[in-house]
């Protein structure tokens, strides 16, 4: 998937330490309708792997993690 994917909700978790960004991602997924894409901005290198593992467990789609200016954009689609 390309970095241009348009998110329905963007959560800025830059500056937050683990598990902050993952917690923010999960909270956002809870709030949006099925099919929506949530994008979390993180400076924690672990968020990508944690988010991937969480998606595997929870059945949501891990779209990818894309580098931005000093942070990463982690994108997930709510599947159910």
Partner 1 sequence: MAKAKVVVLGGGVGGTFVANKLAKHSDKVDVTVVDATGVHHYQPGLLYVPFGWEQPEKLRHDERKLLKPSAQLIKAVVERIEPDKRQLQLLNDGTINYDYLVIATGSCPIPDEIPGLSEGGHHFYTEPAAVSLREALSKFEGGRIVVGIAGFPYKCPPAPIEFTLLLDDWLRQKNLRDKTEIVFVTPLPQAFSIPTVTPLVEELFARKGIKIETFFNTESVDPQNRKVLSLEGMELDYELLILIPPHKGSPVIIASGLGDKGGWVPTDKFTLQVKGQERIFAIGDATDLPVSKSGAAAHFEAPILAQNLLHLIEGKEPIAKYDGSVMCFVEAGEGKATVLRFNYERPPQPPKPSSWWRWLKALMNRFYPVAVPKGIAPDVFLAMLQGKFAEFQPFCGSDLMKGLTQNKNS
Nearest distance from residue 45's CB to partner 1, in Å?
12
Which residue from 17, 35, 45, 68 is in contact with partner 1, where contact means CB under 8 A? 17
Instruction: Indicate whether 22 belongs to the interface with partner 1 (CB under 8 A).
Output: yes
Q: How many CB atoms within 10 Å of residue 34? A: 9
For tokens 């689609």, what's the residue?
Answer: 77
Q: Is 55 part of the annotated catalytic residue set?
A: no
- Which parts of 29-58 interact with partner 1 (CB under 8 A)? 29-30, 50, 53-54, 57-58
As a whole number of angstroms, the distance between CA 71 and CA 41 comes to 6
């Amino acid at each position: 998937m390309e970095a241009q994917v348009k998110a329905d909700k963007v959560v800025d978790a830059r500056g937050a330490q683990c598990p902050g960004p993952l917690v923010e991602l999960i909270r956002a997924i809870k709030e949006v309708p099925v099919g929506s894409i949530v994008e979390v901005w993180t400076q924690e290198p672990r968020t990508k792997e944690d988010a991937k593992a969480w998606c595997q467990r929870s059945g949501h789609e891990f779209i990818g993690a894309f580098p931005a200016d000093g942070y990463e954009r982690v994108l997930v689609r709510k599947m159910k």
